[in-house]
Amino acid sequence: MRAVRTLGTSLDSMLDVSLLDGGVITPDLQPVQLDAIFVSLNHMFAALAEQKGLQLRVRASGLWVHSDPHLLHRMLGNLIDNALKYTMRGGTTVTARARGDHVWIDVRDTGIGIESEHLGHVFEEFYQARNSGMGRAHGMGIGLSVVQRLSRLLDHPVDVRSRPGRGSRFRLVLPVASAPSAGSMIPLLQEHSGPSDPVKNHP
């Protein structure tokens, strides 16, 4: 069953890559309340973290950013999913903080880390640093390539730093936004079933 779920996730991710490379996805940029996305992500991954005996901390910030809510949710979901996969002890923390006209969203883990010679390749399709012995049950190495494509589409730069044996930090940089008036707010997200949900914004 794990193999079947992994295959399904990989096929969905490859579909996303195809749609993004084909220029089919059109972002719907708007003011996005980060805390609403964080709550949804916490609900999505809390059971997985508990199953692995890990801590998942998703910290409220009160910040708003200019983004596409569904595509941003997918980016962060892929990053959290990746962090939990390669963390055996400790856990994953998701935080956001304002830096001038931008917001930094950090996804940190206490996982196996990535050697410096691999950092330039982690966003490539099918590339998995230090996957020997861990098996393809951890995926096909497509999730981060979707993150990179969405980063380019949304103009949200993504950066990674890591220390082998100590963990990794992935950072998204987004433009800050002001909260809209109550009368103009749009429902943000429907419930997502998991990080393998195909990208929603294609026709």
Domains and CATH numbers, the chain: 2-182 (3.30.565.10)
Q: Which of 134, 141, 140 is nearest to 87 (CA)?
A: 134
Q: Are 65 and 103 in contact (CB under 8 A)?
A: yes
Q: How many helices (H) and strands (E) does the chain have?
A: 4, 7
Tens digits of residue pLDDT in 25-83: 788 999 999 999 999 999 999 999 999 999 999 999 999 999 999 999 999 999 999 99
Mean confidence (pLDDT) of the chain: 80
Instruction: Determine what percent of the chain is predicted with pLDDT higher than 90.
Output: 56
Q: What pLDDT score was predicted for residue 17?
A: 58
- Cα separation, 84 vs 90, in Å, equals 10
Tens digits of residue pLDDT in 4-25: 454 444 445 555 656 665 667 7
Q: What pLDDT score was predicted for residue 193?
A: 43
- How far is CA 61 from its chain centroid? 17
Name residue 169's beta-bridge partners: 108, 161
- Cα separation, 196 vs 198, in Å, equals 6
Q: Is 50 exceeded by the pLDDT of residue 178? A: yes
